[in-house]
A and B are shown apart, each in its own frame.
Chain A
Amino acid sequence: MIVKPSGRILLLALALVMSLVLLPACAPRDKTVTVYTSVDRNFSELVFQDFEKKTGIKVIAGYDTEASKTTGLVNKLIEEANNPQADVFWNGEFSQTILLKEKGILMPHDSPAATDIPAKYRDPEGLWTAFGGRARVILVNTRLVEPADYPTRYADFLADRYPADQIGMAYPLFGTTATHAAALYAHDGADAAQAFFQALQDRGIRIVDGNGVVRDLVVDGQLMFGITDTDDALGAVERGDPVAIVVPDQGPGEQGTLIVPNSVALVKKSQPNENAQAFLDYILSPETEKYLAEIGWIQAPVRDVGLSAVGGVDWNLVRTIDVPLSQIYEQLEPSQSALKQIFIR
């Protein structure tokens, strides 16, 4: 077959592209650790760089996106169970990590860095450990609401003094909003929680696609206030947007707000990976927890890391919903099933 020079160039170019494409699969992996993370890339990248600098171990990261409601990687880990690719799963919340434990995807690791983390944040079998968390807070537009009129409780979302179409919340079916709903189911009981969410829907508050959208609509003045996570809310505060943060349900007799801790676990493999264990020890150390608070990913450390206030709030004084993580996890699927009937019609 006659191949003209242009054809040869094309073939060469194709071969070059192919070799570049296949290169990642052939790269040596002895001084590396593969970490799947659902933590926002803006934050996790900084942590990976810090880890690489301190240990010389290169992190090969797999990221998720909010658009897939951070369930993409969990599904990928489940599908990869027979031929796992990741060494570590670092989750921005905890319920999916407990799910992975139940699916037999994780392996135990007793990290010496986690000894001062309270027992309620550690799996009894050592399969996962939770650490520094984000809190659920109300973000208020300061141009639309006077400080005296700020909502102070989640129940204020039902108060007639605020127009329903100017109050926002993400679908309580995904992410931390789903976890918050499950926590209310566990704390208040299914009937009371169901009635609360039904009342929210009947009132006609604005349900949107994610906490980031809630924040954007509050910042833009299209909502007076909405419930979101501290990392989203603080981002807006730091940018100088006209917003204020209210930690809900802190009055006498009130239930407190939900803290959603990060969690980390080793993925089950035939051979334990020392680099993966090193990453776990790094991420669970008080220094890293402090670092995570400083860069803005977490606001509520689970132990004393030497910070009096994060994001202007002393989290040691904040009242939190007092329900074990495992009970919240148990309520997740039933609450999602029930809430689907209310919110997706």
Chain B
Amino acid sequence: MNRFTYAGRARQTRSAWPERFGHWPFLLLIWLPLAVLFVRAAMGLPELALRDGRLFDWAREAWLLIKTLVYASSVAGTVCLIGFLTAAYVIGPGQRQIRSLTFLLLISLTIPSSVHALGWLKWLGLIRQLGLDGVASRGWVVSWLVQSMAMLPVGLLIIAGGVLVQNREHFLAARLLGPDSRFVVKILPGLLRPQLLAAGAIVWILTLNDYAIPSIFSVNTYAIEIFVEYSSSYSLARTILKSLPLVLLQTAVLTIILKLVPQVFLSGRLQDFSSLKVRFPRSLGVLAGLGSLLAVLAAAIPLSVIFLSKEMWLDLGLTFGQSVTDYLTSLGISALAIAIGSPLALSMARWIHARGVSRKGLFLILGPVAIPGTLTGIALIHLFNHPWSNWIYNSLLLPVLAILGRFLPFAVLVILAWLQRLDRELIWAARLLEPDDARTTRKILIPLLAPGIATGATLLFLLGLGELGATVLTVPPGFSTLTIRLYNYLHYGATDRVLGLSFLIILTIVLIWVPLLFWQRSRRS
């Protein structure tokens, strides 16, 4: 792999610091707290073995795990199918709608899953009131439907990225050999395979770790088993042991899948399919239209609940007024996560890119993603709650570290993908002419990678804004975040306030996204 990378060529002159040591800050920041946690948990194991004869209820837990895997796989499969149909739609009849669809999905990505569930509960209730009593209010099917719809924005955005980097030449070549529909049915699935796999894997993982939506519809998953263990035994060792099958499974699957993903980013630049005038037969057009309709529905249902709530608008001023400190705290934490995380992610990505990454390496990078947020929070408490480190422990730096601990690997992967799409001749030329790596990085590499760094930063920001499991444990007394407040309102039953806060989050994203869009346009022109 190195033979084809700019770093492989540049090594003939001199390796840059991030290419030699760029992994150390990442490993220290992400793995040191987890290592301390695992050591502490391992120390508790002998006592645990003496106290409890039976750690696992094998038959019940194995069955629960299998059911959970089937449930998560069905959700991931559904998201991939709808995602593929929507991709076909935007290449074919719906080329003009791609921007509005992406915008709608990006907005709905920020809405908490509980609001998605709330929206679907409302609409399904309305359908039942219209006399369609057959519509289930609980059980596997309705839970699968709502979970799939809540996860669809995540999956679709990944798949949409895949569509945008496809080579027009593939399509033009296929067009010479047969009708456009043939390209969609026979060739597009293969071209989009890495994105479909990546979307499927990420949705699969998010579903495996979510028990909020399934439990609303009376479906049990393994995530709730872990949570029961954590909240009833108060034993770190037991909780980690319970989490282990799920953590290992997730990391293994992610590693295998992401090993396939980077290849796609070698394929080229962002493409515009609008000039191709793709034509579909009616049946395929209807099917693709149906897929995109479901995608619109996935965004429209929660948005309708937010925007059509009269009480939400009436209480909006009060909701904003009460949440302003939490809002600023959340923004500060997420901003600092970006400021610290982006250089670290860039260094790590450069190190991986320079060396090529093995499955073991990917396992190390991705492992933390599969660890429940609560355990990440506890790990940071273990590491930093000492008299000598009170200045960190009682500061907002701890929730920043929690967010980085959970989501920095995603930023690394995004930057890595962009690094692999770079025009390498440019970098080789720069490295040969300018020996100072800091200068080359600042003048050449960062501007070229700016979209990738911005995407990674956006991901950190969005995921950090919605994080709860680790931040609730790490935010210092006297502070709170918007998400903590939102969940408090949710429990209190103040739906109007929950919707008001969701609106505030949407507004924030719009205010950040629109200037970014203009910046991107001016950059292109």
Q: What per-residue 1/0 map shows which CB atoms of A201-214 lie under 8 Å from chain B?
A: 00000111110110
A22 in the interface (beta carbon within 8 A)? yes
A308 in the interface (beta carbon within 8 A)? no
B332 in the interface (beta carbon within 8 A)? yes
- Cβ of B215 and Cβ of A86 under 8 Å apart? no
Q: In the complex, how many angstroms separate the beta carbon of B22 from the nearest chain A beta carbon?
A: 19
B180 in the interface (beta carbon within 8 A)? no
- Cβ of B386 and Cβ of A66 under 8 Å apart? no
- Cβ of A72 and Cβ of B473 under 8 Å apart? yes
Given A24-B395, A25-B476, is A67 in contact with B487 using a C-beta cutoff of 8 Å? yes
CB closest residue in chain A, given B220: A344
B459 in the interface (beta carbon within 8 A)? no
Q: In the complex, how many angstroms separate the beta carbon of A65 from the nearest chain B beta carbon?
A: 4
B263 in the interface (beta carbon within 8 A)? no
Q: What per-residue 1/0 map shows which CB atoms of A95-128 lie under 8 Å from chain B?
A: 0000100010000000000000000000000000
Given A208-B215, A235-B492, is A341 in contact with B57 using a C-beta cutoff of 8 Å? yes
Q: In the complex, how many angstroms separate the beta carbon of B401 from the nearest chain A beta carbon?
A: 11
- Cβ of B60 and Cβ of A212 under 8 Å apart? no
Segment at the A interface, from B161-169, B171-179, B223-231, B420-428: B223-231
B509 in the interface (beta carbon within 8 A)? no
Q: How far is the CA of A68 from the CA of B372 in the complex (A)?
A: 12
The A contact surface, by secondary structure, is helix
CB closest residue in chain A, given B479: A24
Q: How far is the CA of A173 from the CA of B215 in the complex (A)?
A: 13
Q: In the complex, how many angstroms separate the beta carbon of B328 from the nearest chain A beta carbon?
A: 9
- B residues less than 8 Å from A21 (CB atoms): 332-333, 336, 395-397, 400
- A residues less than 8 Å from B495 (CB atoms): 216
CB closest residue in chain B, given A72: B472
Q: How far is the CA of A202 from the CA of B237 in the complex (A)?
A: 33
A142 in the interface (beta carbon within 8 A)? no
Pick the residue among B125, B212, B387 that contacts A222 (CB under 8 A): B125
The B contact surface, by secondary structure, is helix
A247 in the interface (beta carbon within 8 A)? no
Q: In the complex, how many angstroms separate the beta carbon of A63 from the nearest chain B beta carbon?
A: 6
Segment at the A interface, from B24-32, B295-303, B374-382: B374-382
Q: What per-residue 1/0 map shows which CB atoms of B354-397 lie under 8 Å from chain A?
A: 00000000000000000000100010011001110011111111
B218 in the interface (beta carbon within 8 A)? yes
- Cβ of B218 and Cβ of A71 under 8 Å apart? no
Q: How far is the CA of A66 from the CA of B121 in the complex (A)?
A: 20
- Cβ of B64 and Cβ of A65 under 8 Å apart? no
- Cβ of A215 and Cβ of B121 under 8 Å apart? no
Segment at the B interface, from A34-42, A129-137, A276-284, A310-318: A34-42
A1 in the interface (beta carbon within 8 A)? yes
Q: How far is the CA of A1 from the CA of B438 in the complex (A)?
A: 9
- Cβ of A24 and Cβ of B332 under 8 Å apart? no
- Cβ of A79 and Cβ of B385 under 8 Å apart? yes
B58 in the interface (beta carbon within 8 A)? no
- Cβ of A22 and Cβ of B220 under 8 Å apart? no
- Cβ of A208 and Cβ of B488 under 8 Å apart? no
Count B interface residues, CB 8 Å: 67
Q: How far is the CA of A207 from the CA of B211 in the complex (A)?
A: 13
- A residues less than 8 Å from B387 (CB atoms): 83
Q: Which of B467-521 contact A (CB under 8 A)?
A: 468-469, 472-473, 475-480, 484-485, 487-495
- Cβ of A63 and Cβ of B488 under 8 Å apart? yes
Q: How far is the CA of A35 from the CA of B216 in the complex (A)?
A: 32
Pick the residue among A60, A85, A99, A344 that contacts B393 (CB under 8 A): A85
- B residues less than 8 Å from A65 (CB atoms): 468, 472, 484, 487-488, 491
Q: How far is the CA of A239 from the CA of B227 in the complex (A)?
A: 32
- A residues less than 8 Å from B231 (CB atoms): 68-69, 71, 173-174
Q: How far is the CA of A66 from the CA of B468 in the complex (A)?
A: 11
B339 in the interface (beta carbon within 8 A)? yes
Q: Which of B279-328 contact A (CB under 8 A)?
A: none
A20 in the interface (beta carbon within 8 A)? yes
CB closest residue in chain B, given A84: B385
Q: In the complex, how many angstroms separate the beta carbon of B179 from the nearest chain A beta carbon?
A: 48
A171 in the interface (beta carbon within 8 A)? yes
Q: How far is the CA of A85 from the CA of B392 in the complex (A)?
A: 13
Q: In the complex, how many angstroms separate the beta carbon of A190 from the nearest chain B beta carbon?
A: 16
B140 in the interface (beta carbon within 8 A)? no
- A residues less than 8 Å from B525 (CB atoms): none
Q: How far is the CA of A12 from the CA of B112 in the complex (A)?
A: 34
Pick the residue among B224, B395, B488 that contacts A344 (CB under 8 A): B224
- Cβ of A232 and Cβ of B493 under 8 Å apart? yes
A148 in the interface (beta carbon within 8 A)? no
B455 in the interface (beta carbon within 8 A)? no
- Cβ of B121 and Cβ of A222 under 8 Å apart? yes
Q: What per-residue 1/0 map shows which CB atoms of A156-178 lie under 8 Å from chain B?
A: 00000000010000010110001
- Cβ of B228 and Cβ of A344 under 8 Å apart? yes
- Cβ of A85 and Cβ of B477 under 8 Å apart? yes
CB closest residue in chain A, given B136: A165
Q: In the complex, how many angstroms separate the beta carbon of A171 from the nearest chain B beta carbon?
A: 7
Q: In the complex, how many angstroms separate the beta carbon of A308 from the nearest chain B beta carbon?
A: 26
- Cβ of B60 and Cβ of A341 under 8 Å apart? yes
- B residues less than 8 Å from A220 (CB atoms): 121-122, 125
Taking each of B63, B378, B438, which has the highest tally of chain A beta carbons within 10 Å of its own beta carbon?
Answer: B378
Q: Which of B131-175 contact A (CB under 8 A)?
A: 137-138
- Cβ of A63 and Cβ of B484 under 8 Å apart? yes
A80 in the interface (beta carbon within 8 A)? yes
Given A25-B476, A212-B491, is A68 in contact with B381 using a C-beta cutoff of 8 Å? no
- Cβ of A345 and Cβ of B488 under 8 Å apart? no
Given A85-B385, A209-B211, A341-B57, is A235 in contact with B493 using a C-beta cutoff of 8 Å? yes
- Cβ of B228 and Cβ of A75 under 8 Å apart? no
- Cβ of B228 and Cβ of A165 under 8 Å apart? no
- A residues less than 8 Å from B396 (CB atoms): 20-22, 24
- Cβ of B218 and Cβ of A206 under 8 Å apart? yes
Known: A24-B478, A66-B490. 4 other contacts (CB 8 A): A21-B336, A68-B374, A74-B234, A210-B491
A residues sitting closer than 8 Å to B (CB atoms) are 1, 14, 17-18, 20-26, 34-36, 40-42, 60-69, 71-72, 74-76, 78-80, 82-83, 85-86, 99, 103, 165, 171, 173-174, 178, 206-210, 212-213, 215-217, 219-222, 232, 235-236, 239, 332-333, 336-337, 340-341, 343-345
- 16 A-B pairs with C-beta separation under 8 A: A14-B339, A18-B336, A40-B491, A64-B472, A65-B468, A71-B230, A80-B381, A165-B137, A174-B228, A174-B231, A207-B218, A212-B493, A222-B121, A236-B493, A341-B57, A345-B60
The 8 closest A-B pairs by CB, nearest first: A66-B491, A209-B215, A71-B231, A62-B477, A60-B478, A25-B394, A21-B396, A25-B395
